[in-house]
Amino acid sequence: MSKSFDVVVIGGGPGGYIAAIRAAQLGFNVACVDEWKNDKGGPAPGGTCTNVGCIPSKALLQSSEHFEHANKHFAEHGITASDVKIDVAKMVGRKDAVVKQNNDGILYLFKKNKVSFFHGRGAFVKAADGGYEIKVTGAADETLVGKHIVLATGSNARALPGVAFDEETVLSNDGALRIGATPKKLALIGSGVIGLEMGSVWRRLGADVTILEGLPTFLGAVDEQIAKEAKKAFDKQGLKIELGVKVGEVKTSKKGVSIAYTNAKGEAQTLDADKLIVSIGRVPNTIGLNAEAVGLALDERGAIVVDGDCKTNLPNVWAVGDVVRGPMLAHKAEEEGVAVAERIAGQHGHVNFNTIPWVIYTSPEIAWVGRTEQQLKADGVAYKAGTFPFLANGRARALGDTTGMVKFLADAKTDEILGVHIVGPMASELISEAVVAMEFRASAEDIARICHAHPSLSEATKEAALAVDKRTLNF
Ligand SMILES: Cc1cc2nc3c(=O)[nH]c(=O)nc-3n(C[C@H](O)[C@H](O)[C@H](O)COP(=O)(O)OP(=O)(O)OC[C@H]3O[C@@H](n4cnc5c(N)ncnc54)[C@H](O)[C@@H]3O)c2cc1C
> Is 155 near ligand 1, meaning CB less than 6 Å away?
yes
- For residue 303, report the distance from its CA to the centre of ligand 1, in Å: 14
Alpha carbon of 458 to those of 225, 392, 397, 434, 468: distances in Å? 20, 12, 13, 10, 16
d(CA 133, CA 119): 17
Return mean pLDDT, the chain. 97
> Is 195 near ligand 1, meaning CB less than 6 Å away?
no
Q: What is the pLDDT along the chain (475 residues), one digit of tens a residue?
A: 899 999 999 999 999 999 999 999 999 999 999 999 999 999 999 999 999 999 999 999 999 999 999 999 999 999 999 999 999 999 999 999 999 999 999 999 999 999 999 999 999 999 988 899 999 999 889 999 999 999 999 999 999 999 999 999 999 999 999 999 999 999 999 999 999 999 999 999 999 999 999 999 999 999 999 999 999 999 999 999 999 999 999 999 999 999 999 999 999 999 999 999 999 999 999 999 999 999 999 999 999 999 999 999 999 999 999 999 999 999 999 999 999 999 999 999 999 999 999 999 999 999 999 999 999 999 999 999 999 999 999 999 999 999 999 999 999 999 999 999 999 999 999 999 999 999 999 999 999 999 999 999 999 999 999 999 988 776 5
Backbone angles phi, psi at 461, to 5 degrees: -65, -45
Dihedral of CA 68/70/75/78: which sign? positive
Residue 454: active-site member: yes
pLDDT tens digits along 244-296: 999 999 999 999 999 999 999 999 999 999 999 999 999 999 999 999 999 99
pLDDT tens digits along 167-193: 999 999 999 999 999 999 999 999 999
> Is 256 near ligand 1, meaning CB less than 6 Å away?
no
According to the model, what pLDDT value does residue 129 have? 81
> Is 55 near ligand 1, meaning CB less than 6 Å away?
no
- For residue 156, report the distance from its CA to the centre of ligand 1, in Å: 8
Q: How many CB atoms lie within 10 A of CB 262?
A: 14
Q: Which atom of ligand 1 is nearest to the CA of 136?
A: 42
In this structure, the strands spanning 3-10 and 30-34 are parallel
CA dihedral of residues 331, 335, 340, 343 (deg, nearest 10):
180
Q: How many residues does the chain have?
A: 475
